[in-house]
Chains A and B, each alone.
Chain A
């Protein structure tokens, strides 16, 4: 059997990507993620890392939806769009990551930050190590390049005041201060806290509970992750938000049919042209699924 010929002639079968736990990523998964990230960071146009990180905050306009009290449409009064907007954001980021890495098997892993209080709160090792095989670890920090000086100087001052660290002029890099900021929660969320969120009886309540946990983790990580305008330049941002997205999916599975209020289902999620709130509700339709791990079988010798 000629495997190369077979592979070239094999039809393209649509497959749903598996987003896996950072803790269970195989070495090849981590290597593929790092390679795709490096490739994405090497692209300076609107397919690259700077473009996608900038959608969340700086450079203006920033599109992210946090603490949305008034909805995506001006005449609506309450708008729990935090979860749908970030699901759309991850969806487009993941596609760009796959394109950059020429690898459709690369998916965004989730950082399971649920931590027993008796255990130390930590950032996963694959994101915390500064270098890998003598090369900078692209999961450790991200570059900040394409922000106009007039906007960056304000954010730079804000970071210096709030974190005690001046990131300097651009190009700069992200930094973290796990557990160090005075306004940070004392530890990462406990199973009890997360279960409390998952027990929320309706979407609005769940969104509120999970956004509060989400906010605390951003502040716990500290540094650039603690401020909306530059948080998405840190590669850890995507693992954090993939966990948030996964918890929403788990909550959806436990609450069949529980959706955002009907009046929001057709609301757009700018700047993403092809998705509405309703379009984010089924992750299988978006081409991914959550798994704890994936352990492929290899054929036995001679089979």
Chain B
């Protein structure tokens, strides 16, 4: 599975604010329906792969570990997440609704913002077994979110 490489995002006060007390790297829409997996995050290391050592020197800032459901074991349609539900439907939500996860990266962002105006991130999926090289990583969006 190929790593996700972002386009550059701005790190100036105009882009992310000047007085944030916290910065999170937020993953939206993380698919946890299949095997357990990890996402290793590197800052400013577009060449990072699953062979890259997870060290600060390589721009590594953290990992998300996803405890997976391992697949679908019901009949056809059992694991299809409903796109929408009618009002007054108080049944529990589908268990496979994609997740939101985040890593706090406040210190790393502050240090980078002091010396550069832009940042690219590389997200390296670590999957079990044999995975097609051109398959996609299992999240919908990743964002840098700052809080003041």
Report the Cα distance A61→B102, complex, angstroms.
Answer: 29
Identify which of B95, B97, B100 contacts A62 (C-beta below 8 A).
Answer: B95
Report the Cα distance A226→B127, complex, angstroms.
Answer: 12
Contact status A154-B35, CB under 8 Å: no
CB closest residue in chain B, given A269: B92
Residues of A within 8 A of B95 (CB): 62, 64-66
Residues of B within 8 A of A219 (CB): 36, 38, 65, 67
User: B56 contacts the other chain (Cβ, under 8 Å)?
Assistant: no
Number of B positions contacting A (CB below 8 A): 42
Contact status B65-A151, CB under 8 Å: no
CB under 8 Å from chain B, chain A span 68-83: 68-75, 78-79
User: B87 contacts the other chain (Cβ, under 8 Å)?
Assistant: yes
User: A126 contacts the other chain (Cβ, under 8 Å)?
Assistant: no
Contact status A229-B65, CB under 8 Å: no
CB closest residue in chain A, given B126: A183
Whole-angstrom distance between the Cβ of A95 and the nearest chain B Cβ: 23
Report the Cα distance A183→B91, complex, angstroms.
Answer: 34
Whole-angstrom distance between the Cβ of B125 and the nearest chain A Cβ: 8
**Number of A-B pairs whose CB atoms are under 8 Å?**
126
Identify which of A58, A150, A181, A196 contacts B128 (C-beta below 8 A).
Answer: A181
Contact status A226-B38, CB under 8 Å: no
User: A130 contacts the other chain (Cβ, under 8 Å)?
Assistant: no
User: A218 contacts the other chain (Cβ, under 8 Å)?
Assistant: yes
Residues of B within 8 A of A66 (CB): 32, 67, 95
Report the Cα distance A65→B101, complex, angstroms.
Answer: 15
CB under 8 Å from chain B, chain A span 193-231: 196, 208, 212, 214-216, 218-219, 226-231
Residues of A within 8 A of B97 (CB): 68-70
Residues of A within 8 A of B74 (CB): 60, 151
Interface stretch (choices A3-11, A45-53, A113-121, A158-166): A158-166
Contact status A67-B73, CB under 8 Å: no
Say which size band chain A's interface belongs to. 35 or more
User: A279 contacts the other chain (Cβ, under 8 Å)?
Assistant: no
CB under 8 Å from chain B, chain A span 251-277: 270
Contact status A270-B35, CB under 8 Å: no
Given A69-B99, A162-B35, A155:B126 Cβ within 8 A: no
Contact status B70-A155, CB under 8 Å: yes
Q: Mark B11-48, 1 if CB is under 8 A from A, else 0.
A: 00000000000000000001010011110000000000
Q: Which of A71, A208, A219 has the most C-beta atoms of chain B within 10 angstroms of its own C-beta?
A: A219
Contact status B101-A208, CB under 8 Å: yes
Identify which of B37, B89, B94, B103 contacts A183 (C-beta below 8 A).
Answer: B37
Residues of B within 8 A of A64 (CB): 95
Contact status B85-A182, CB under 8 Å: no
Residues of A within 8 A of B9 (CB): none
Report the Cα distance A130→B39, complex, angstroms.
Answer: 33
Given A66-B32, A74-B93, A75-B87, A182:B71 Cβ within 8 A: no
Whole-angstrom distance between the Cβ of B122 and the nearest chain A Cβ: 17
Residues of A within 8 A of B67 (CB): 66-67, 214-215, 218-219, 226, 228, 231
Contact status B36-A69, CB under 8 Å: no
Contact status B38-A162, CB under 8 Å: no
Q: Mark B80-94, 1 if CB is under 8 A from A, else 0.
A: 000001010111111
Report the Cα distance A186→B36, complex, angstroms.
Answer: 15
User: B59 contacts the other chain (Cβ, under 8 Å)?
Assistant: no
Contact status A154-B93, CB under 8 Å: no
Residues of A within 8 A of B38 (CB): 183-185, 216, 219
Report the Cα distance A172→B92, complex, angstroms.
Answer: 31
Q: Which residues of B contact A (CB under 8 A)?
A: 30, 32, 35-38, 50, 54, 63-74, 78, 85, 87, 89-95, 97-104, 126-129
Q: Which residues of A contact B (CB under 8 A)?
A: 57-58, 60, 62, 64-75, 78-79, 150-152, 154-155, 157-159, 161-164, 181-186, 196, 208, 212, 214-216, 218-219, 226-231, 270
